[in-house]
DNA sequence: TCTTTTTACTTGACTAGTCATCTATTGTAG
DNA sequence: CTACAATAGATGACTAGTCAAGTAAAAAGA
């Protein structure tokens, strides 16, 4: 007579999972949700969402040339329309600048602004700390095993 | 000279991660995204989203009494306004019924309809198969280790 | 060179999730 | 019993992500 798993309790499910793989998959989804919420909670006081923060970080990494809209989208795994409007909001808040690329007028190049860089600077310490705290009590071996398993799951 | 990790390549990042924990945390987020997309792709042909499907499954588990609105929300970890509107859409599609609870007129009780049950029935086989395929090539030991680590990460 | 295709977005219409606010009840303390 | 607090939801306003179309510019083909 097994005890109900922790996840099973969390979602108040009566029946046990049909399989361990199913439980693990749901565990990944719920854990991602928790990590995501922690991230949002950290960002909110700065008036930015985690996705906007990710875009700014990508753009900082692409300084000083900047990047075309869709290239940012590819790095975020997001579909086009979303990234366009996300950039609209970042531009409205003056954290990014956009202009038509003169060499290829279909593209719109994006660069992070001074204000955007300053924002990232202000958030840096908080973010660094928080990104690790979810896996605080894990050994190096465990972390590596986790990384490897997740890589395999994504490839499947 | 280490090779760039797989995840680092996936997101086309130049700099290596500041820490393995950070890489693992991002790995969880990206893997969840992949699993989620596979789920949506499976649901879409049936005219339902994965979140709507989850609600229907919760309601099936609560037959024949049904559940009040917020209780469904708690099991989904979702905030109130979202679940209310999600149920609006499910009701419009005739997959759930809702009515005021006579004992406590603040509550709105929800039950899955016959059509909703039939839908779940039709989807069952596909869903069962898909929920396991992301972790197809994992041993029982690996799966258990993964589940345990994810549990710990959520508790942290 | 002129037409066709492809590429890079943009716009419109949804689903979804969040916060803040508001309403209807119920529960509770005087 | 009545005023006040707590609970269950609904509504409005955003951010975000998805698909389906539409536009403009560049690239390819005849």
3-class secondary structure for B11-27? CCCCCCCCCHHHHHHHH
Sorting pLDDT into bands at 50, 70 and 90, what band is A4?
low
Question: A147–B27: do the CB atoms touch at under 8 Å?
Answer: yes
- Quick one: CATH architecture of A51-126? Orthogonal Bundle (1.10)
- Mean pLDDT across B24-37: 96
Q: Which nucleotides of D are covered by protein (CB under 7 A)?
A: 7-13, 15-21, 24-27
**Mean per-residue pLDDT, B36-41:** 95
Please, are residues A34 and B153 in contact by the beta-carbon 8 Å criterion?
A: yes
> A89 to each of A50, A64, A95, A116, how far by Cα in Å?
13, 21, 9, 13
pLDDT mean across residues, chain B = 92
Assess whether pLDDT exceeds 70 at residue B67.
yes
How does pLDDT run across A14-43, given as a tens digit for each residue?
566 778 999 999 999 999 999 999 999 999
Residue of B31, B151, B154 with shortest CB distance to A153: B31
Which residues on A lie below 8 Å from B22 (Cβ)?
Answer: 131-132
State the average pLDDT over residues A87-97.
98
Mutate to test the interface with A, among B6, B8, B31 (most CBs of A within 10 A): B31
Pick from A23, A31, A77: which is nearest to B33 by CB? A77
Query: What whole-number distance in Å separates Cα of residue B40 and Cα of residue B42?
Result: 5
> Residue B108 in contact with residue B69, Cβ under 8 Å?
yes
Interface contact flag, B24 A150, Cβ < 8 Å: yes
DSSP letter (8 states) at residue A2: P
Domain B50-127 has CATH 3.40.50.920: no
**Distance between the alpha carbon (CA) of B35 and the C1' atom of D18, Å:** 16
Residues B43/B49/B54/B55 CA torsion (nearest 10 deg):
-140
Q: How far apart are CA A144 and CA A63, in angstroms?
A: 31
Name the residue closest to the C1' of D26 by its CA: A104
Q: How far is A72 from chain B (nearest CA, A)?
A: 10
Cis peptide before B133, with omega less than 30 degrees from 0?
A: no
**Does pLDDT of A3 surpass 80?**
no
Secondary structure element (H or E) that encloses residue B117, with its range: helix B114-133
Contact: B32, A27; criterion CB under 8 Å: no
Q: Tens of pLDDT along B83-111?
A: 999 999 999 999 999 999 999 999 999 99
User: Mean pLDDT across chain A, nearest whole number?
Assistant: 92
* Cis status of the peptide bond prior to B64, with omega within 30 of 0: yes
Query: B151 vs A11: CB contact, 8 Å cut-off?
Result: no
**The pLDDT of residue A18:** 78
Which of the 64-93 residues on chain A come under 7 Å of nucleic strand C at their beta carbon?
Answer: 68-71, 80-81, 84-85, 87
Instruction: Look up residue A146 and give its two tokens.
Output: 């986790």
Cβ within 8 Å, pair A153-B142: no
Q: Contact, A48 vs A39, CB < 8 A?
A: no
Residue among B27, B12, B14 at smallest CA distance from A75: B12
pLDDT digits (tens, 9 = 90+) for A70-84: 999 999 989 999 999
């Amino acid at each position: 007579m097994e005890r109900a798993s922790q996840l099973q309790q969390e979602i108040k499910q009566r029946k046990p999972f049909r399989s361990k793989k199913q439980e693990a998959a749901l565990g990944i989804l719920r854990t991602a949700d928790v990590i995501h919420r922690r991230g949002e909670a950290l960002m909110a006081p700065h008036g930015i969402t985690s996705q906007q923060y990710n875009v700014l970080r990508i753009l900082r990494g692409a300084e000083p040339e900047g990047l075309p809209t869709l290239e940012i989208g590819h790095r975020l795994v997001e579909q086009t329309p979303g990234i366009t409007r996300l950039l609209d909001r970042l531009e409205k808040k003056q954290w990014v600048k956009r202009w038509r690329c003169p060499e290829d007028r279909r593209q719109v190049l994006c660069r992070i602004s001074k204000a955007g860089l300053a924002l990232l600077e202000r958030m840096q310490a908080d973010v660094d700390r928080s990104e690790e705290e979810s896996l605080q009590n894990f050994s190096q071996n465990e972390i590596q095993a986790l990384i490897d398993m997740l890589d395999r799951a994504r490839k499947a």
